[in-house]
Chains A and B, each alone.
Chain A
Amino acid sequence: MEKELTGKIALVTGGTKGIGKAIADRLSEAGAVVIVAARNHPGDENLKHHFISADITVSGETDNIVGVINKKYGAIDILVNNMGGSNSPSGGFGVLTDEHWDSDLQLNLQSAVRIDRAILPQMVAKKNGVIIHISSVTGTLPVYESLGAYAVAKAALNNYSKSLSKEFSRKGIRVVTVSPGMVKTDTMDAYLQSLADTSGLGIEEVTQNLMSSLGGIPIGRMALPEEIAELVGFLVSPKASYITGVNYIIDGGANPSL
């Protein structure tokens, strides 16, 4: 592995499991000092990365953790906004309450907005930095069964990320969105299980149904978290120096449109 991120300080939100953990591992292999932020320490797992406890859905905490990171490690060069997800129930639009909408928007949009706001000044001061927003193919290809509000929040995140790139690319900061399709993580497995429980169908069947609701996946499988991490690793590296303001869809061909 080329150590192309040697000397860089990277913060990965939600970096203790799933896609976030794979990203943290990948950046660390490339030589970055990686700090992961999450509400809970993963416990007795051999955590390779520096950990900071934070609930970034809480206003005010983001400034605190950025301050702690700066003091302990230095200015942040790379920010991966990976934190996201949904606790909304399945059952379509009708079962989503105001609270579900608020929760999905907070977790998938507002958290990123807050962290970006807290970190951008130091990137602007250095005239250098990379911000990645981990979105979802549902931001472009919504699915309504249970991810209706989540998909909306991701669509909003995409627009926000593009807008940010327009403002800050000329100041030396690249802002890029990554939109994964279906990724095989523990969270995905738990989600499929919940769909199975609600519907009474088997896991295989709900998996196929979800793949079908995206229109089918030409590659025929889910992504591995490591595959998302490879793209992110590329995007935060000097190799991606002309890449900003884009939304890269990594979905095995699922999005059918041009």
Chain B
Amino acid sequence: MEKITKELLGKTAMVTGGTKGIGKAIADKLAASGATVVVTARKPSEEKTEHHFIAADLTDSGAIAELTEKLIDRYGTPDILINNVGGTSSPAGGFQMLSDEDWNRDIELNLLASIRLDKAIVSKMVEKKSGAVVHISSLNGKIPLYQSNFSYGVMKSALNAYSKTLANEVAKHGIRVNTVSPGMVRTTAMESFLESYAQSIGKTVAEAAQQIMDGLGGVPMNRLAEPEEIANMVAFLVSDGAGYITGANMLVDGGTYPAV
């Protein structure tokens, strides 16, 4: 078997929310490509892992400075920053179900966490005149679903706009910024979400999943993505081979997005 090219050898990567699901798959993929990977999350992974770890709650604006300091002291300015942290605990059931607190939580987790971390780290990347940033968004940012996760889709749409704007600004400094928009991905977070959504509408998990897929217009590939399939795109985007790609939103959605 041909040896896998270690195309990220010598690079340092930070992955937020890198202890499970998509974040873990990304961390694993970057490490397999030769990068030194530092993951951050509120708690370390329970599984044995070779990734470095710094604890941080990215919804706490005060935590960002400490995280950045530790990161740079121990590992230097990262070459790669993957803003993967995100999600929602807001109730399903449409617009009227959402309180101010629900909106604020979703803004913090899905938008402000990335903005704050980028602010701290991208300035260092500018000094180095190089770097690659990826924002993990969601198909919901382009296809909102009001029934199941109204506020999440809105925040991901905002994240898309923010990512593009940042890309325009820092391209001249040699930093590429891109978004990856996964469709539905098979993770434990997805399972939890489907379970609670199913409960809220009084259906089985399978029926709930089908309802969401129908709400999206159907998934041509007729299955969920595996986390590795998202990680593959991220690893490609941060590689030197993707040197002309910036300000792009790369959908990885099994064909779900219906428009041209």
Measured CB to CB, the residues of A under 8 A from B are 1-3, 158-159, 162, 165-166, 169-170, 181, 218-220, 223-224, 227-228, 230-231, 233-234, 239-253, 255-256, 258
Contacts and interface: CB of A to CB of B under 8 A. Distances in A.
Contacts of B160: 258
Given A169-B255, A230-B242, 4 more contacts: A2-B5, A242-B230, A246-B251, A252-B171
Chain B CB count within 10 A is highest, among A223, A242, A253, for A242
Contact of B221 (A230, A231, A242, A256): A242
A253 B232 contact: no
A258 to B, nearest CB: 6
Contact of A239 (B164, B225, B236, B255): B236
A51 B208 CA distance: 52
Interface string B1-31: 0101100000000000000000000000000
Interface bracket on B: 35 or more
B213 interface: no
B220 A169 contact: yes
A39 to B, nearest CB: 28
Contacts of A243: 229, 233, 251-252
22 contacts: A1-B5, A162-B259, A166-B220, A166-B255, A166-B258, A170-B222, A181-B244, A218-B168, A227-B241, A227-B243, A231-B241, A231-B245, A234-B232, A244-B254, A245-B257, A246-B255, A248-B250, A249-B248, A250-B244, A252-B244, A253-B247, A258-B161
A185 to B, nearest CB: 14
Given A2-B4, A230-B241, A258-B160, A218 B246 contact: yes
Contact of B246 (A3, A231, A244, A253): A253
B167 interface: yes
Nearest to A222: B244
Contacts of B252: 242-243
A219 B132 CA distance: 13
Contacts of A258: 160-161, 164, 249
B142 to A, nearest CB: 9
Contacts of B239: 230
B229 A241 contact: yes
Interface of B: 2, 4-5, 160-161, 164, 167-168, 171-172, 176, 183, 220-222, 225-226, 229-230, 232-233, 236, 239, 241-260
A233 to B, nearest CB: 8
B219 to A, nearest CB: 9
A170 B218 CA distance: 11
Nearest to A183: B244
Contacts of A3: 2
A246 B244 contact: no
A170 B172 CA distance: 41
Given A218-B247, A245-B255, A239 B171 contact: no
Contact of B255 (A218, A223, A230, A244): A244
B242 to A, nearest CB: 7
A228 B244 CA distance: 8
B252 to A, nearest CB: 5
B73 to A, nearest CB: 31
Contacts of B236: 231, 234, 239
A242 B220 contact: no
A197 B190 CA distance: 59
B239 to A, nearest CB: 8
Contacts of B233: 239-240, 243
For the complex of A and B, 3 pairs with smallest distance between CB atoms: A218-B171, A245-B255, A230-B241
Contacts of A233: 241
Contacts of B251: 243, 246
Contacts of A181: 244
Contact of B2 (A2, A159, A251): A2
A42 B119 CA distance: 51
B226 A242 contact: yes
Chain B CB count within 10 A is highest, among A162, A223, A234, for A234
A242 B168 CA distance: 28
B245 A250 contact: yes
B187 to A, nearest CB: 14
A82 to B, nearest CB: 17
A220 B243 CA distance: 12
